[in-house]
Amino acid sequence: MDEDHYAVNRAWWDERAPAHAGSPDYAVQELIADPTRLSDVVRFDLPRLGDLNGKRGIHLQCHIGTDTISLHRLGAAMTGLDFSPESIAIARGIAAAGADVAFVQADVYSAPAAVGSGFDFVFTGIGALGWLPDVARWARTVAELLRPGGRLFMREGHPMLLAFDVERTDEWVLRYPYFEQPEPGHFDLAGTYVDAEAEFNHTQLREWSHGVGDVITAVLAAGLELTMFVEHDSVPWEALPGRMHRDDGEWRLIEHPERLPLSYTLQAVTR
């Protein structure tokens, strides 16, 4: 990743990590108070995750670790990895309340050097891939982390949803690329994607598009076999303000939710 893009994005996440930890959307205090509680993101994919008991997993781009800790509560020995030192510090603080989870600061592409390999599964949570410039390199990194027979499990915002202009509520306008491009989109976002009252100084960020075909092709080229691909009519954040309603921790279109996929879950295994 270009060092300028990396630094811009890390500053954006470092500043928002404390606000996210205090936001009701992440429910950190509830997670600490109730050792059986799972994050909404992990709970959504429970029917697809399968038995994690005794499995060794790594969560790439783990942010403040609520999903990582939830996977640990399902029986997995978890490592969380993120490039933001502020996020990792908060994740370690949450885990100190009773979760035996290792948190490592490193960028995704450096993960094998930072944590080794031989993992039973790699978990990538929703909203992660857009911060990476090269999905093919990401897939090769995942393959390097996994043991033979290990699996990738990920959920991501659908690139069709992410191509729409979020500022236009009067009509549907395609504004952003669907397919991966060499250069990122440059955005100025003063707030954040959860309910938080904090004001931020770092507002610039860089994001990349990765079409469904881009992702699947990258996974296959890295030597993994696709075993699941499910599209969903919901996402865990208000991706299209003014056009969505919240139901059981997920956001769905108010009108015609059957017309647009909002996220997908993908699973693949090493051969």
DSSP state of 129: G
Per the structure block, which two tokens stand in for 174?
A: 């395609």
Query: ∠238-209-19 over CA atoms, to 5°?
Result: 40
The answer, yes or no, to whether residue 2 has pLDDT greater than 70, is no
Handedness of CA 225, 226, 228, 232 (dihedral sign): positive
CA 3/CA 132 separation, integer angstroms: 12
Nearest to 270 by CA among 168, 152, 172, 181: 152
User: Which pLDDT tens digit goes with each residue over 253-271?
Assistant: 999 999 999 999 999 999 8
pLDDT digits (tens, 9 = 90+) for 171-196: 999 999 999 999 999 998 887 887 77
Beta bridge partners of 252: 234, 245
Interacting residues of 133 by C-beta distance below 8 A, sequence separation 6+:
1, 2, 5, 184, 208
What's the distance, CA 176 to chain centroid?
20
Over residues 217-231, the pLDDT tens digits come to 999 999 999 999 999
Place 49 in a pLDDT band, splitting at 50, 70 and 90: very high
CA dihedral sign, ordered 264, 17, 97, 116:
positive
The answer on pLDDT for 197 being more than 90 is no
pTM of the model: 0.95
Please provide the distance, in angstroms rounded to a whole number, between the alpha carbons at the two ends of the chain. Answer: 29
- Homologous superfamily (CATH) of 3-270 is Vaccinia Virus protein VP39 (3.40.50.150)
